[in-house]
Structure 1
């Protein structure tokens, strides 16, 4: 059993697992839809204080780097749809979001603690894996993501 979990953990340098989700805007998107762009996949939940703490800076980074070719996709593991939608509305989240209540996608990445974020380059390779909250507007973080463009 220990080996099967270890085999599912996605590491820097690995090809990012493919998935398809229906976003809250009704769009069906797949990781393959973002070819040529840098994809930031953020696994989070409304019941996770560190996730909520980093959301404003993630939002700001998405607005700053979106025009340059960075796409942020928030994948929530919330089971409660009402709480999830209420939070998105109150926080005015503008990047693409989706709810994965069974945590199937995060499990494919080997993610079981939140927040956890994967930065995937234009070729679909994981370039960074960030465990825990992050200040997404910090100059070194912005430079690091921009270096993948």
Structure 2
């Protein structure tokens, strides 16, 4: 003979409902956060022609300066552990794919340009890093770090990556090898 506590069936049903609501809210939050990036990349909308300001104060560059070449726009910060792991690999990948014409635009989002420059110097990473204005950053809608956007030669998003893993690097490698580009240096040096 089984004895049930009074209301145990109702309690169990209530728990299942609460669990389902939690799953729905979690899924809705993920979709809400990811939707702008998914829509932006999904319709192959051109990346905005923003002005990239070098951390070292040299002359700025525009995305249109690299028309016809694949461009990797990598958003990073010195306090972001995955960014610190990914950045040297992106630099190495850009050197490896220089014959494909790949351009690496590493965009620092630290609160100050000095923090980003200090990190690069201490880590021994030889790279001209850039910043965007706050308005341009908001327009692009970066919500997590690292975020890396691969643009084709027409400035259209071929792929958007959030987070860091070896599979991200391999995916970029394969996509860039599939794109045609000019033969030139792969890392933008400030003029």
Question: Secondary structure of 2:40's match?
Answer: coil
Kindly state the Cα deviation for residue 24 of structure 1 after the two structures are TM-superposed.
3.3
Report the TM-score, using the length of structure 1 for normalisation: 0.83
Contact 1:58 1:136 in 2 (8 A): no
Query: Which of residues 118, 126, 133 is equivalent to 2:164?
Result: 133
* Structure number with larger C-alpha Rg: 2
Question: Secondary structure of 2:41's match?
Answer: coil
Contact 1:118 1:126 in 2 (8 A): yes
Which structure is higher in strand share? 1
Q: How does 1:68-147 map to 2 (within 5 A)?
A: 68-100=100-132, 103-135=134-166, 138-147=169-178
Match of 2:62 in 1: 30
Which ranges in structure 2 are unaligned for 5 or more consecutive residues? 1-31, 181-191
Kindly state the Cα deviation for residue 138 of structure 1 after the two structures are TM-superposed.
4.9
Aligned residues, how many?
145
Contact 2:161 2:168 in 1 (8 A): no
Report the TM-score, using the length of structure 2 for normalisation: 0.66
Query: Which of residues 49, 73, 77 is equivalent to 1:18?
Result: 49
| Root-mean-square deviation over aligned CA pairs | 2.6
Kindly state the Cα deviation for residue 81 of structure 1 after the two structures are TM-superposed.
3.1
